[in-house]
Structure 1
Amino acid sequence: MCGRFAMSKETDDLITEFVAEGGDFRDWRPGWNISPTDTIPVLFRSSKGDEEPVRRLEPARWSLVPSWSRELKTKFPTFNARSEGITEKAMWKTPIKSHRALVPASGYYEWRTDPDTKKKTPFYIHAAADELLLFAGVYSWWKDHSKAEDDPDSWTLTASILTSSAVDELLDIHDRNPVPLPPEWWDTWLDPTIEADQHFVDAAVDAALPVAEKLTIDEVAPIPFKGDGPELIRPVGKPSA
């Protein structure tokens, strides 16, 4: 699973890197302790009317809420979506068809639990050269019907990160990991004209395996519930700069 992650790049850099149209990120800042329901940058392709789909980078609430929900919350956690059987599950089968997204991340955290002491040791998992990871995700727009039809704040973009069975290199820490897609899969995953079935999702998960297998795993100090800053990803034993 992926319950906390870091995103250290500014959104202007992401917009330039991915040649994307940008949403309103005035209230967003890079973070090293991003939690479910926090605002995250999400990359997707969409179109208006008969226009060609364009890449967009928009702020989204990290935890998908389906359009049919009456409230901006769900009865169970939706910040992650299991890739296995996703096309058959009520919560996910609509967005996975054509509302697929990429969630950029510098890295993510996972905790290993000692079976005897129950002590949890945090690890920061990231690309070896500190390159950006793009996790496979899905998105959904939720409308607040208590607000006026023309109120732009009545719409909230929500998103989730797909997970799969952990690669062998991560099994000692956790049995799940997010799905980090390689660059050759980015455009395919975002293509809204492709109606995804389970074979498509499984192929994406397979393509992500080489990326996940090469990730660097660093033990870090305990992660505070609300603290933030680049010091959170400093490996244990490494002196501060």
Structure 2
Amino acid sequence: MCGRYVAAQDPAALVAEFEVVAPPEQYLPPNYNVAPSTSVYVVVDKRQGDEPPARSLEVAKWGLVPSWAKDPGIGAKMTNARSETVASKPSFKKAFASQRCLVPADGYYEWYTSTEVTSSGRPAKLPFFIHAADGATLAMAGLYEWWRSPEGSWLLTCCVLTKQATQGLIQIHDRMPVMVPQARWNWWLDSALQIEIAPLLDPRLVPLEAYPVSTAVNNARNSGPELMAPIQAR
């Protein structure tokens, strides 16, 4: 799964890197410990009439709320979509068909279940920071939905696709986000295309590296660049 990640880049840098047409309407400060239900940046394709699609940097709440949902609280349980079932599961299939997005990230956190035991008698969970081997911004494969409240206000939400972890990362956790390499950005965002997820499952597309970090990241209220700092492995 993907339950925490880092989104620390300035929106101006994201506008340039992802070649979006304009800055987002809302500014989000750097967040080194993005948790579910947080507002995050997503890159989407916008179409207006017969004009070609243009990329836009939008602010969405992390946790997908399908347009048919009666209660937006369902989004708290919809932060991830499994790539194996995303095309058929009712909660995700509409968005997968035509509402795909990119979720920019500096990297993400995952927890390794250690053989050590805590004072409560439970296995210790040790956090790792996982990032692009070349230090580039990651573009996680995402889906988005617009949900309309009974009062008529609109809420943009998103989720991140996951897949089985690749060799080298599966020792930390058995799931990981699906990454979209730059050469596939247009393909993934194009709502006119009926696509399959298989082309993104090759682990060679976006090589990743991981290192252990402080357990301070366990607390979602903590945020700062020190959370990404490597520590000596136990």
Q: With the length of structure 2 as denominator, give the TM-score of the two structures.
A: 0.91
For 2:106 and 2:36, the matched residues in 1 are separated by 16
Residues 194-237 of structure 1 show CA distances to partners (whole Å, capped at 9, x for unaligned) of 023xxx1122223xx1145x311110010123110000000004
Given that 2:40 and 2:62 are in contact with CA atoms closer than 8 Å, whether structure 1 keeps it comes out as yes
Instruction: Report the AA paired with residue 62 of structure 1.
Output: W
Shift of 1:71: 2.1
Given that 2:64 and 2:75 are in contact with CA atoms closer than 8 Å, whether structure 1 keeps it comes out as no
Given that 1:46 and 1:192 are in contact with CA atoms closer than 8 Å, whether structure 2 keeps it comes out as no
For 2:161 and 2:170, the matched residues in 1 are separated by 17
What is the aligned partner in structure 2 of residue 227 from structure 1?
A: 222
What is the aligned partner in structure 1 of residue 67 from structure 2?
A: 67
Deviates more, 1:52-61 or 1:70-79: 70-79
Task: State the aligned residue count.
Answer: 225
Say which SS state the counterpart of residue 40 (structure 1) adopts: strand
What is the aligned partner in structure 2 of residue 218 from structure 1?
A: 211
Residues 98-135 of structure 1 show CA distances to partners (whole Å, capped at 9, x for unaligned) of 10001000000000012562100000000123210001
For 1:76 and 1:40, the matched residues in 2 are separated by 14
What is the aligned partner in structure 2 of residue 178 from structure 1?
A: 177
Shift of 1:52: 2.4
What is the aligned partner in structure 2 of residue 14 from structure 1?
A: 14
Shift of 1:50: 3.3
Map 1:40-51 onto structure 2 (within 5 A): 40-51=40-51
Shift of 1:61: 0.4
Instruction: Report the AA paired with residue 219 of structure 1.
Output: P
For 1:77 and 1:32, the matched residues in 2 are separated by 22
Given that 1:82 and 1:164 are in contact with CA atoms closer than 8 Å, whether structure 2 keeps it comes out as yes
Given that 1:66 and 1:141 are in contact with CA atoms closer than 8 Å, whether structure 2 keeps it comes out as yes
What is the aligned partner in structure 1 of residue 26 from structure 2?
A: 25
What is the aligned partner in structure 1 of residue 84 from structure 2?
A: 84
Given that 2:35 and 2:220 are in contact with CA atoms closer than 8 Å, whether structure 1 keeps it comes out as no
> What is the CA RMSD across the aligned residues, in angstroms?
1.7
Query: How has the CA–CA distance of structure 1 residues 75 and 156 changed in structure 2, closer, same or farther, with 3 Å as cutoff?
Result: closer
Shift of 1:85: 2.2
Query: How has the CA–CA distance of structure 1 residues 20 and 116 changed in structure 2, closer, same or farther, with 3 Å as cutoff?
Result: same
Shift of 1:43: 0.4
What is the aligned partner in structure 1 of residue 120 from structure 2?
A: none
5+ residue gaps, structure 2, are: 118-122
Instruction: Report the AA paired with residue 193 of structure 1.
Output: A
For 2:60 and 2:144, the matched residues in 1 are separated by 8
What is the aligned partner in structure 2 of residue 189 from structure 1?
A: 188
Q: Which structure: greater helix fraction?
A: 1
Given that 2:36 and 2:76 are in contact with CA atoms closer than 8 Å, whether structure 1 keeps it comes out as no
Shift of 1:76: 6.4
Given that 1:20 and 1:57 are in contact with CA atoms closer than 8 Å, whether structure 2 keeps it comes out as yes
For 1:50 and 1:221, the matched residues in 2 are separated by 51
For 2:150 and 2:155, the matched residues in 1 are separated by 11
For 1:125 and 1:19, the matched residues in 2 are separated by 25
What is the aligned partner in structure 2 of residue 138 from structure 1?
A: 143
Instruction: Report the AA paired with residue 187 of structure 1.
Output: N
Q: Identity of aligned pairs, percent?
A: 37
Instruction: Report the AA paired with residue 204 of structure 2.
Output: P
Given that 1:100 and 1:137 are in contact with CA atoms closer than 8 Å, whether structure 2 keeps it comes out as yes
What is the aligned partner in structure 2 of residue 119 from structure 1?
A: 124
Say which SS state the counterpart of residue 129 (structure 2) adopts: strand
Deviates more, 1:8-17 or 1:103-112: 8-17
- 4+ residue segments displaced more than 4 Å: none
